[in-house]
Amino acid sequence: MIVRTLQDAEKTNRKIVSPDGNWDSTRMLLKDDNMGFSFHITTIYAGADFQMHYQNHLESVYCMSGEGEVETLADGVKYPITPGTLYILDKHDKHVLRATKEMKMACVFNPPLNGKEVHNAEGAYELEAETISE
Ligand code: 9YT
């Protein structure tokens, strides 16, 4: 069994701060744990408004705190996000995420992230990326 705490993980290089200033993500469980998915605790900063398109991954995002919305760009539908909301990008949906208040999210990716991924110009993560060294 593997046991980790967010409090410990966010003091290490598992905590990735996005260069665009919109979010940080503590990657608590990664590809090299061999679970077939990765698990992250992500903070979306208040006022963030940015586009993503995970062409190489499926992602589920659960809101633990805060407030915002997610918009699917194919149809322009805006879904409010409050604590308890889970959104599931089951179709590699191109989407915009907006935070009216700072949001704490629990995120699961399939396939799992390697560790150091940040968004490319299209708002996707590449399948190959640097791992976390501890
Ligand atoms: C909710 C979302 O997709 N935020 C971007 C960061 C991502 N969750 C990650 O890398 O953990």
**pLDDT value of residue 92:** 96
Which residue lies with its CA nearest to atom 10 of ligand 1? Answer: 25
38, 104, 105, 118: residue to mutate for ligand 1 pocket, most atoms within 8 A of CB: 105
Q: Indicate the pLDDT class of residue 133, thresholds 50, 70 and 90.
A: confident
Whole-number Å distance between alpha carbons of 85 and 124: 22
Task: Determine the atom of ligand 1 nearest the C-alpha atom of 59.
Answer: 3
- Pocket residues for ligand 1 (CB within 6 Å)? 23, 25, 40, 42, 52, 59, 61, 97, 105, 107
Cα distances (Å, whole numbers) of residue 71 to 29, 56, 119: 27, 19, 18
**pLDDT tens digit string along 68-91?**
999 999 999 999 999 999 999 999
Task: Determine the atom of ligand 1 nearest the C-alpha atom of 52.
Answer: 3
**pLDDT value of residue 50:** 97
User: Interior CA angle at 40 toward 57 and 15, to 5°?
Assistant: 115
Do residues 39 and 110 lie in contact, with contact meaning Cβ atoms separated by under 8 Å?
no
Q: How many Cβ atoms are within 10 Å of 42's Cβ, its own excluded?
A: 18
Reduce the DSSP state of residue 88 to 3 states and report it.
Answer: strand
What is the distance in A from the centroid of ligand 1 to the CA of 2? 23
Cross-strand bridge partners of residue 73: none
Reduce the DSSP state of residue 39 to 3 states and report it.
Answer: strand
pTM: 0.95
